[in-house]
Amino acid sequence: MQLQDDLMPRNPYEMDGGRAWKADADKMFTPADAVIVFQNLEKIDLLPPRTEALHIASISSNVPTLEIGVFDALQAQRAGKVTFIAGDLTHLEIGKDDERFKREGFHIVQWDAQHLPLVDHTLHVIYDKKGALWHFAKKEMPQVEFLEILRQLKDKLKPSGIIVIDNFDYNEVDEFFFNDWGFLAGQEQERYMNPYQTEPSTVQTITRTYGEWIWKKISKIFGIIDVGDGIHSVRVLKVKPSIKSLLGV
């Protein structure tokens, strides 16, 4: 199953491959917000020390506005030791003609989200902001296949690696707009909120599709940590140490 099929246009925001809705989405969750998410991860030592290299992949960024914002912020803090790979699942080929995303250490690649062409145990972070895992769960992929994808993603992570998925409760979206935008209401609000943005978060979508039991299954593969509040809320799946790593092998 190819994720590209899941991302076929279904509403006017997606007819250009995602550029239009992404522009709207960035009004609701900005690159600066994405940077705050990573700052929160760093505060509780879920990222390697700043003196060390940091390798990140965003499975399904497509238009990587959030990713380039995070990359620039981290690269400035870490003296150029960051590598960021952004997945272009819808084949927009943005990296070829958009100067915004041309940086040394920032790469946009086309791939199948179920089978990342990366060497095992190389990534510190897989960042999936309402991306591949959201689409897989929303399409009601069989439970066994969904868990197998998580296991395959785990194989790409270093022994202390993490998967970061969004956990913002979209039932609070009206409160968010009232507090942060104030004047937005009714039709005016709709200008800034496309249907994709107001659907449940990745955590909510996984739970709604498979039930609470899925997290018990996932907890056998990963440690589960909830980090941040409001729109900066994420659920972190942290690789559990193996017996070999505990023994220092």
Is the separation of the CB atoms in 66 and 31 below 8 Å? yes
Q: How far apart, in whole angstroms, are the C-alpha atoms of residue 132 and residue 34?
A: 17
For the record, the structure tokens of 229 come out as: 């509040």
Q: How far apart, in whole angstroms, are the C-alpha atoms of residue 122 and residue 161?
A: 9
Task: Express each pLDDT in 34-74 by its tens digit.
Answer: 999 999 999 999 999 999 999 999 988 778 889 999 999 99
Three-state DSSP class for residue 231: helix
Predicted local confidence at residue 25, as pLDDT: 60
Q: How far apart, in whole angstroms, are the C-alpha atoms of residue 60 and residue 110?
A: 9
Phi, psi (rounded to 5 degrees) for 195: -55, -35
Q: How confident is the model at residue 235 (pLDDT cuts 50, 70, 90)?
A: very high
Stronger pLDDT, 215 or 102, i.e. the higher one: 215
Instruction: Indicate the pairing of strand 157-166 with strand 123-128.
Output: parallel
Task: Express each pLDDT in 104-159 by its tens digit.
Answer: 899 988 887 777 888 999 999 999 988 899 989 999 999 999 999 999 999 999 99
Token pair 């991860």 is found at 41
For the record, the structure tokens of 136 come out as: 């897989």
User: What domains lie within the chain, and their CATH numbers?
Assistant: 3-246 (3.40.50.150)
Burial status of residue 160 (CB atoms within 10 A of its CB: 0-12, 13-18, 19 or more): middle
Q: Tell me the residue ranges of DSSP E strands in the chain.
A: 54-58, 82-87, 106-109, 123-128, 157-166, 222-227, 234-239
Task: Express each pLDDT in 166-195 by its tens digit.
Answer: 998 766 555 555 555 444 444 455 555 555
